[in-house]
Copies of this chain bind each other. A is one copy, B any other.
Amino acid sequence: MSDINKQLDILASRTVDLYSRDELKKKLELADRENRPLRVKLGADPSAPDLHLGHCVVINKLQEFQALGHQVVFIIGDFTGMIGDPSGKSATRPSLSREAVEANAQTYKEQIFKILDPEKTEIRFNSEWFGDMRFDQVIRLSAHVTVAQMLARDDFSKRYAENRPISLVEFLYPLVQAYDSVMVKADVELGGTDQLFNLLLGREIQQAHGMAPQIVMTFPLIEGLDGVQKMSKSLGNYIGINEPPREIFGKTMSVSDELMWRYFTYILCVPETEVAAMRQEVDSGRRHPRDMKDELARRIVARFHDEAAAMQASEEFARVFSQNKLPDDMPEILLRATDAPEGVMGIIDLVMCGDLCASRGEARRLIQQGGLRIDDVKVSDPMVSVPLKDGMIIKAGKRRFAKVVLSE
């Protein structure tokens, strides 16, 4: 019994919502008596296969369940993924081909198995049960919810109040997710705080199908590099778990001191008491925040690569940024005589050739703001043409470099 209480403390940690600790305890006891693992569900949208640290907040909890012997059920929502948003109102729901879904699923697997144990992970596609579902079954499923209940969901009530359209399809999609819980017999479902409504609906739909309701756990949507908005690929403020060590390290070093503590907690799962102690070290001046952030960045790189890569990234970062030296290797801008017949090139063209900015507009703003240097000399006129030299170093912003290589 003390073992159950210990499990409970581990599993309840870092949750925002938990429905409920008591129920979870009973489920753990029942699973223990029946000598079976709990089935812990996480649903994934197959349209965005690049996992980043934001996803890790939830996946870390799955790992903790696995470490305690439980079974993860990872559901790839290919049924709705292949339909997309037929109303055409949501840009975030492209419709995917079967091939794209499968390719994305493969990418998912490669990424989640950096964290999760494949032996204790069941991967399911929900087209398995929805592919053949007929209209009359949809009607019976829809009978379990009311319009008012759906409109109570935060984002729906807001859009309805603002007269922004909500397609009827959007009322069906939460039912899809909820019915997944019936089909995989989920004991627990995890999600971000924005998933609370859908996860609770899973409880109701399970009960309507004569099942015990799943435990619902939500986790914070961790802020991205800007420290304000939630980490997301579309906002560009993310750290991908597949990025090279140097990128993960450099991006981590750019987060605010305040956000650093949340990353220790939610990305590295450092217990609250330890984080408080580390914070005390910094607050008291015994340890420099940059040093603490270096530890955070090293530990994150080590998690997704290895210790050696972490050390190397840390050393290189120190050399380049603290001592203002150049990185060990850097991308090259290979230019031929035909690219610049007169031996000169517009500064924006040069930046774009080196892939140093995402757009000409961004390049122009960077130059105007004084963020561009050529051989350590600031260039602040975006209209200037630059005489090309072999080995010339372009530095864009704090961390992006490229070296010009001229060839015949």
Residues of A within 8 A of B (CB): 79-80, 82-83, 85-88, 130-140, 142-148, 150-151, 156, 160, 163, 165-172, 175
Contacts and interface: CB of A to CB of B under 8 A. Distances in A.
15 contacts: A82-B136, A83-B136, A85-B143, A87-B143, A131-B134, A135-B137, A142-B167, A146-B165, A146-B166, A146-B168, A147-B147, A147-B151, A147-B165, A147-B166, A148-B163
Given A134-B134, A135-B134, A140 B171 contact: no
A140 B172 contact: no
Contact of A145 (B137, B140, B167): B167
B171 A139 contact: no
Contact of A168 (B80, B135, B143): B143
A151 B134 CA distance: 25
A143 B171 contact: no
- Give the secondary structure class of A's interface: helix
Nearest to A80: B139
A85 B140 CA distance: 9
A168 B142 contact: yes
B136 A172 contact: no
Contacts of A163: 148
A143 B166 contact: no
Given A134-B134, A134-B135, A135-B130, A168 B147 contact: yes
A255 B165 CA distance: 48
Contacts of A137: 135
Contacts of A143: 85-88, 167-169
A92 to B, nearest CB: 15
A138 B135 contact: yes
A145 to B, nearest CB: 5
Contacts of A134: 131-135
Contacts of A156: 147
Nearest to A173: B139
Nearest 3 Cβ contacts at the A-B interface: A86-B143, A87-B143, A142-B168
A167 to B, nearest CB: 6
A178 to B, nearest CB: 12
A407 to B, nearest CB: 54
Nearest to A168: B142
A308 to B, nearest CB: 49
A205 to B, nearest CB: 12
Given A86-B140, A146-B168, 14 more contacts: A83-B136, A130-B135, A131-B134, A139-B169, A142-B168, A143-B167, A143-B169, A146-B165, A147-B160, A147-B165, A147-B170, A147-B171, A150-B168, A168-B171
Given A83-B139, A86-B140, A148 B133 contact: no
